[in-house]
Structure 1
Amino acid sequence: MIVGIDLGTTFSLISYVNSSGTPTLIPSKRDPQRFQTPSVVHIGDRGAIVGDLAEELLQEEPALAVSRFAKLSMGQPGKVALTDHLGQAYTPEAISALVLRKLKEDAEAALSEPITGAVITVPANFNDAQRQATVNAGRLADIPVLGLVEEPLAAATFFGLNTKGGERLIFVFDIGGGTLDATILSATPEGLYAIATEGADNIGGKNFDELIMGIVADQFRGQYGTDPRNDPEGAQRLRHFATQSKIALSAPGANVISKPVILGGKSLRVTFNRAQFEAAAEPWLEACQEVCERALKSQSLAWDNIDELILTGGSSLVPCVERKVREMSALQPARIRREQPHASIAYGAALLAEQFYGAKKTAAPPLKQQVTSNELGLRVFDPKERKPVFHAMIEKNVPVPTTAKQTFYTQKAGQTSLSIELLQRKDPFTPPETLGQFTFGPIRRPESGHPVSIEMGYDGTGRVSVTAADGRTGESVAREFSKQAEADLTAMYALLQKVPVRA
């Protein structure tokens, strides 16, 4: 069985396409009425506790060390997401792998057959290191990752956009627990084509939770003179209280939160209203608008050019978020759609898994094109500026898979080798990040201006290939780049095999 997985910042879901071609969520084997798995992990002497059980345990023992939001820090070499009771460190990829393993076990229990492959969704704004880290997390969970697909494209696929009657421009506003994506697609009779994407990996539901945490902390400080966020147990209870308050305040007709909370053994009657929350949220709402405007500007578009807007992601249910999108787009209500914002990405992932790798027929429109979310290039010496600079070879928002080829020249006579450093960059205002480097050589006839041809390829899954060839002899060296060393993955895999998962 092949499946689609929405590996979310705060919640994760798994789905498959049934025999009638309909995407279907797979429930937790612990609770058949639950489909969302909190992306929360605790590792202790009882093994790994994942999902709802970890959340429940936190309510009983708030001081326990847990990993939240591990997805956001994947792809950073040396990053530690959690240290267990024995002092063993776990990477963000390992934590995500434990969430994936739990989803895999749920699916195999529900479907009574093994999972043979999965399409996993990623934020459109994920860089190449984060994408490869997602593939690695699947490997650590013993899930064959067939491919990655960007979350807004999965949502658009689920919506089953009507692609008949000529080209239409679709804007997908996807805001989840920790990331925001703004993606523009062209819907044609042939299928869906992504043409531009922008995003932010620091805007989402957790920001709104933290705003409420700040409001409550101010009231607590006013009464007791201390900040409950400085106490690990108090911070855990406060985060849970804030999340539940945000959900309650987002319900139709809800305007005031007034209820008690116990933090650090001290009771507080918390009272605040929707207006206070929305005033605190305004900077984040402005940041949402800036991301959307960048996406439009990249293609010289305006909101008037957009035919339909899709709202998806759990945080799109926050009233001030929806209102901000409606105000900034000024689109007629009939042109703005939102259906099952928590599940649409998982549904779309399952449809795309079947579309690309399965045999079941579905009514979903074919996804024809994804685009690069970052610039890829090399560090080269600029003789005018007389210093090394970033030189883009693959631009942002270029259809993938893609290749680029260019000839470079040595700077001095007697130069027998060339150092090739691969870089990625989100935009011209962000410093580039090194993906890896290698040395090309020996150069047989090392005169100044010796040509070296560089070909770069990218398939959208996080692996970048670079081939350097001597422009005169044709001798070449090829490399594939991944941010995580194979030896590190092997060691972490061996460690995780010893960690039972309780969910």
Structure 2
Amino acid sequence: MPDESLKVFGIDLGTTYSAIAYVDETGRPAVCRNTDSLETTPSVVFFENESNVVVGSVAKNSAITYPDQVVSLIKREMGSEAVYDYHGTTYTPESISALILKQLAQDAATHTGGPATRAVITVPAYFGMLERTATKNAGQIAGLDVIGIVPEPVAAALHYEATTDAEDRTILVYDLGGGTFDTTAIRVSSDEIEVLCTDGDDHLGGADWDARLRDYLLQRFTESTGTDAEDDEEFMQSLATTAEETKKQLSRAESRPVALRGAGSSARVEVTRELFEHETRDLLDKTIDIVRRTLETLRDKRPGTTIDDVLLVGGSTKMPAVAERLRAEFGWEPKLHDPDLAVAKGAALYALGRVVHKEKQDAEDAGGTAEQVRERVAEAVGGVAAQTGISVRTLEGLAAKQTRNVLPKAFGVKLVDTSEPDWQSKPKRHYVHHLVHANDALPTEVRNLQAATVEEGQQGVEIELFEQSGVVAGPELAENKALNEGKGLIDGLPPMPVGSPVDIRMTVDAEGLLELNATEPSTGKSLDIKVRVSVRSDEEVAEAAKVVAGITVSS
């Protein structure tokens, strides 16, 4: 077996910063430094020309002079049908994310001295299946062999458990990243990491704190100089960078003077930590509300469960107000555990564990006597140990660690509202009936629904699948997203009266494959839908991969 098949990486594809890690020969996760010798890379893309794209700090700085050619916060658009046009080429959130991944892989190859093609990519716990599939598609477009998608808090918990021996504990992961926020309750034991429940907001993150401070600085600049600088693009981009740096400095200092120059004017603004926390208190309030919802869900699912440790993940949790507020509200002592890199390091551990697990599985599947199987498994793991320099004991531990996840968002079918007595005389009103719900354990149990026809003489039944799009599941169509390839028709039925039954069964497996069966019982005619939720077809992904392969990416 070639060494390259064992070289796997964990990628934290972040909204504002990304990182890539691997497990070194000592069995410890190590982060690959980029060309700037830094462990994190800004998730910013500068479309310099039709054949060259710049990713990272240079791209971020280019936003000041070329704002129309720079994309940031693209992670917030994952799973959407947004499109972008640069130099005559159309890009999607997946293909732009692929450019970031391509740069990370190049940096990893330089750092390790070999190819970086196999990886696990992390996603926010609260990403739905659309966003998760979009992330996997981004990896494929970048030319990576994506061997897994793992929730960020699971990766963080893996790293925490590996470095602290935190076994048989219930951990609450408070993950405030650059553009997303979620809280996840996780049970950590010697052989398993089980996600108990999760909640979050995929449009709330450190970038919102930056924007609030930017707006405050702009207001003070305008008041001090009498100058309206909002139309000065260079000034506004510079102001955004200044706001982010000031936020970081206020995590260490009580106040910072900020010098502002733009539109022919200048001003000096003193910003205190107290003022910053006051201006952003409502944002922190939102995270506390989500923590409360998570605890309520945990109480419903596992009555009597208590939180043993609170783990702070994501660079924005370095803001002192976060730990102070959690301490004041819940009496916890939160732990700031490698907040910038824990996710990437945990993903690297997860990735190597999956590779070793597969090697063991292949050895077991070859058959033979119990003794032959044991010998083959020992030989397989020993071979990995010999080629990676990692001890057999460490590899066995990684392979044995299982993860159990929950469904991040609800899925359901579109129905006609027949609740009103005179519904037949009114325009049809559609809604979504959810059969599987957020925080259901994966794989889900089979969920059944008996629907009914709504028209006299109806000879066909159309089934359409939807995924919850809002923070909280709701029945309105606007609160849900239709699934690509999640529609089908049972046709050729004899004319049926209103109210004829249609039996519907739905499950979601551990990997997110949704399966639905709908049957009209009198004829036995049925419809089967199997869908890995995605907004892009396989053909679109393949075409995007060709485009990205032809682009030179640099940092």
- If the length of structure 2 is used for normalisation, what is the TM-score? 0.82
Max Rg structure:
2
Find the counterpart in structure 2 of residue 457 from structure 1: 507
Which structure shows the higher helix fraction?
2
Paired position in structure 1 for 2:151: 150
Q: CA deviation at 1:342?
A: 0.2
1:6 counterpart = 2:7: no
Please give the residue correspondences for 1:28-427 in structure 2 after superposition, counting only pairs within 5 Å.
Answer: 28=34, 30-31=35-36, 33-45=37-49, 47-58=52-63, 61=65, 63=67, 65-77=69-81, 79-80=82-83, 82-84=84-86, 86-160=87-161, 162=165, 164=167, 167-251=168-252, 254-300=253-299, 305-331=306-332, 333=333, 336-358=334-356, 361-362=394-395, 366-385=401-420, 386=423, 387-402=429-444, 404-406=446-448, 407-425=450-468, 426=470, 427=472
Give the secondary-structure state (helix, strand or coil) at the position aligned to 1:402. coil
Counterpart-to-counterpart distance in 1, 2:493 and 2:85 = 51
**Gap change, CA 1:478 and 1:88, over 3 Å in 2:** same
- Whether the aligned pair in 2 keeps the contact of 1:378 and 1:391 (CA below 8 Å) is yes
Listed as ranges, the gaps of 5+ residues in structure 2 are: 1-6, 357-383, 386-393, 424-428
Bigger shift: 99-108 or 303-312?
A: 303-312
Deviation at 1:368, TM superposition (A): 2.6
Tell me, in whole angstroms, the C-alpha distance in 2 between the residues paired with 1:76 and 1:106: 28
Stretches of structure 1 that go unaligned for 5 or more consecutive residues are none
Deviations 1:282-302 (A, max 9, x none): 111111100100111112279
Q: CA deviation at 1:466?
A: 3.0
3-state SS of paired residue (1:399): coil
What secondary structure is seen at the aligned counterpart in 2 of 1:185? strand
2:69 match: secondary structure: coil
Q: Distance in 1 between matches of 2:222 and 2:514?
A: 51
* CA–CA separation in structure 2 for the residues paired with 1:461 and 1:72: 22
In structure 2, distance between residues paired with 1:43 and 1:147 = 29
Alignment partners' CA distance in 1, 2:418 and 2:63: 58
Distance 1:415-1:282 versus aligned 2 partners, 3 A rule: same
Output the CA distance in 2 between the equivalents of 1:53 and 1:394. 45
Does residue 432 (structure 1) correspond to residue 430 (structure 2)? The answer is no
Q: Is the 8 A contact 2:227 2:263 kept in 1?
A: no
Distance 1:133 1:264 in 2: 41
For residues 317-347 of structure 1, the C-alpha deviation after alignment (integer angstroms, 9 at most, x for no partner) is 011122112212212x3xx322210000001
* Alpha-carbon contact 1:229-1:235 (below 8 Å) kept: yes
Q: State the match for 2:547 in structure 1.
A: 495
Match of 2:31?
Answer: 25
Q: Deviations over 1:98-129 (max 9, x none)?
A: 00000111122222332342111111111221
Taking the aligned partners of 1:460 and 1:227, their CA distance within structure 2 comes to 54
Structure 1 ranges of 4+ moved more than 6 A: 301-304
Residues in 1 aligned to 2:259 and 2:57: alpha-carbon distance in whole angstroms: 23
| Amino acid in the other structure paired with 2:345 | Y
Contact kept, 8 Å, 2:225 with 2:266, in 1: the verdict is no
Aligned-pair distance for 1:27? Answer: 1.3
Q: Which residue of 1 aligns with 2:390?
A: none
Identify the range of structure 1 (242-251 vs 215-224) with the bigger mean alpha-carbon deviation: 215-224
**What SS does the aligned partner of 2:269 have?**
strand
Provide the rounded CA distance (Å) in 1 between the counterparts of 2:502 and 2:116. Answer: 45
SS of match in other structure, 2:261:
strand
User: Compared with structure 1, are the counterparts of its residues 482 and 300 closer, same or farther at alpha carbon in structure 2 (3 Å cutoff)?
Assistant: same
**DSSP 3-state at the match of 2:326:** helix
The alpha carbon displacement at 1:50 in A equals 0.5
Q: Any conservation in 1 of the 2:299–2:305 contact (CA below 8 Å)?
A: no
Q: Return the letter of the residue paired with 1:435.
A: L
2:109 and 2:344 mapped to 1: Cα distance?
A: 17
CA shift in 2, pair 1:44/1:459, >3 Å: farther
3-state SS of 2:541 partner: helix
Give the Cα separation in 2 of the matches to 1:177 and 1:499: 27
Measure the CA separation in 2 of the matches of 1:404 and 1:231.
57
| Structure 1 pair 303–235 and aligned structure 2 pair: CA distance change class (3 A) | farther
1:203 to partner: Cα distance: 1.9
Which residue type is aligned with residue 543 of structure 2?
Answer: A
Structure 1's 156 and 474: CA in aligned 2 closer, same or farther, altered over 3 A? same
Give the aligned residue type for 2:38: R
How far 1:163 sits from its partner (Å)?
A: 5.5
- SS of structure 2 residue aligned to 1:371: coil
8 Å contact kept, 2:118–2:144? yes
Q: Which position in structure 1 is the counterpart of 2:529?
A: 478
Give the alignment's Cα RMSD to 1 decimal: 2.5
Q: Residue 441 of structure 1: which of 484, 490, 495 is its match?
A: 490
Q: CA deviation at 1:451?
A: 4.5
Q: Which moved more, 1:481-490 or 1:366-375?
A: 481-490
Cα distance in 1 for residues equivalent to 2:109 and 2:143:
13
Residue-pair matches, total: 490
Report if the CA contact (8 A) 2:490-2:525 is conserved. Answer: no
- CA–CA distance in 2 between the matches of 1:116 and 1:97? 13
Question: Which whole-Å CA distance do the structure 2 matches of 1:379 and 1:226 have between them?
Answer: 53
Q: Distance in 2 between matches of 1:313 and 1:217?
A: 27
